[in-house]
Amino acid sequence: MADDKILKTIHAATTELDLSTFKFTRLPEAIREKSKLTELKLTGVGLKELPKWIGELQNLRYLWLDENDLTEIPEEIGKLTKLGLLRVNRNPFKHLPDGIGNLSCLQELWLENEALQDLPEGIGRLKTLVSLFLSCPKLHTIPEALGSMTGLTHLYFNNCVSLKTFPSDLSKIDQLQYLQFWGCELKKVPDCFSTLPDLEEINLENNQITDIPSGFQNLDGLKVIRMKKNKVKSIPSWMANKKWKRIDLSENPIKFDSFPENFNSFEFEELELIRTPAGRVSIPKGFSMPRSGSIYGLQERQLNEEFQPEIEAIQQSMSAEELQQTRKKLVDRVNRSLRKYNGKDGTLKKVTDYQVAFLKLLYEKYFDQIKAEAQAQIDIYFEERTVKPLVDIDKLRLPDTESPLWEIVFNDRNWSGPVVCFDYNGWEQDSCVLVG
């Protein structure tokens, strides 16, 4: 019965065919006859093999192969010379064919792959490629050929934690505007990043980088640096030589005594130093701030006078036995929510007595109000839908005795909507961010 439905869907198609709601391991032969197809969606169908005749569908412009069981991509895919978009995310193949470089019209290539170990040299022939997205934890080398992809404007590497070798020169990629290496465990910024002539924004968040390279000052177009969650200890003095739109150094071990002497001559629109050591102490007397621009984080320097005593009073009123019972009850409650989004790796594990008292106060006094605000935000987002999604906790950052900062993030249960994030300093809400 299912085969009949698949065949009817195929025969009814003219230029666009979406089989993502079906399940099959081999591509139906009937598709081979659809030579006029321009779009083919095969997301999550359970495909184990891509036939060589796929190269006969030479009018294809969009091909989705995400979330299948493909262990190999045939060389014949290179015959799809009109293809503009190729998505092969979440498949177990270890290598790409060199023939992929023959996709002379390809503009977007998506490779989120747990098994992929290398990229073929042929990838350098993709002169029309505008956007390349890779999330490949076993990828160990970026070939020199990447430097020949002169059409690139956006380049994304996420969670590529095994990278050891980078191209020596990227100066020929003279249209690249956005470069991202997110969560790749980089310990230093590769030299080749400073050879990109038209780079406007670089995202190096969630790495192990200790220094901002001086080579960045030679990139005339670079206006935005995002280096949240690294190990940067100081702000280099050379940054005063450029005008910046945004610099994000949040959650780095930056202290006031590491600020450069010329900090007051910096020019920027926004500088983020949220959750840094500098943000947890009072601004030193005589410290000279830049004349213009907004700095986020330095205002978060003193414990809220009402917040900490409120928690400490609860903590002191509870016996050791009550603390233990409350810890189990409330941590279990939070983790039931967190597991829906993050699995066991995203749950709370070690919670101090102070944080137990915080959770008790949160749930007994504030939680219903905060959740209602989050629900209202998402209801507005889904105003035209008859069935509104229900929100639940996605992430929760707990305060400690050193810092009152905490953050609670809500999402809808089906991940079909936006994220509502409340950022607090004590009980004072600093911001509510809705991300669609």
How many CA atoms are closer than 13 Å to the CA of 174, on its beta-carbon side?
1
Q: What is the largest CA-CA distance in the chain?
A: 79
Q: Output the pLDDT for position 306.
A: 62
Residue written as token pair 């006031």? 256
**pLDDT tens digits, one per residue of 223-232:** 999 999 999 9
Count Cβ atoms within 10 A of the Cβ of residue 71 and give its class: 0-12 exposed, 13-18 middle, 19 or more buried.
middle
Q: What average pLDDT does range 240-257 have in this prediction? A: 93
**Number of Cβ within a 10 Å radius of residue 215:** 14
**pLDDT tens digits, one per residue of 178-210:** 999 999 999 999 999 999 989 999 999 999 999
Q: Output the pLDDT for position 434.
A: 67
Give the chain's length.
436
Judge contact between 414 and 389, C-beta under 8 A: yes
Q: Output the pLDDT for position 302.
A: 44
* Residues in Cβ contact with 43 at an 8 Å cutoff, skipping those fewer than 6 apart: 20, 64, 65, 66, 67, 68, 87
**pLDDT tens digits, one per residue of 11-30:** 988 999 999 999 999 999 99
Q: Please tell me which residue, 404 or 299, carries the higher pLDDT value.
A: 404
Share of the chain above pLDDT 90, in %: 64
For 20-85, the DSSP string reads TTS--SB--GGGGG-TT--EEE-TTS---B--GGGGG-TT--EEE--SS--S---GGGGG-TT--E
Tokens describing residue 270: 């926004």
Tokens describing residue 341: 């989004």
Tokens describing residue 283: 């601004």
Q: Tell me the average pLDDT of the chain.
A: 88
What is the Cα–Cα distance from 347 to 21, expressed in whole angstroms? 33
Q: What average pLDDT does range 390-414 have in this prediction? A: 80
Q: Output the pLDDT for position 3.
A: 83
43-52, 317-326, 387-396, range with the lowest pLDDT: 387-396
* Residues in Cβ contact with 361 at an 8 Å cutoff, skipping those fewer than 6 apart: 310, 311, 314
Q: What average pLDDT does range 329-349 have in this prediction? A: 84
Judge contact between 217 and 239, C-beta under 8 A: yes
Q: What average pLDDT does range 215-229 have in this prediction? A: 95
Residue written as token pair 């928690």? 311
Share of the chain above pLDDT 70, in %: 92
All structural domains of the chain, each given as residue ranges with its CATH number in brackets, are 2-176 (3.80.10.10), 307-435 (no CATH)
Q: Output the pLDDT for position 409.
A: 85
**pLDDT tens digits, one per residue of 98-136:** 999 999 999 999 999 999 999 999 999 999 999 999 999
What is the Cα–Cα distance from 386 to 377, expressed in whole angstroms? 16
Q: Output the pLDDT for position 194.
A: 92
Bridge partners for 296 per DSSP: 272
pLDDT category at 303 given cuts 50, 70, 90 is very low
53-57, 158-162, 425-429, range with the lowest pLDDT: 425-429
What is the Cα–Cα distance from 68 to 357, expressed in whole angstroms? 46
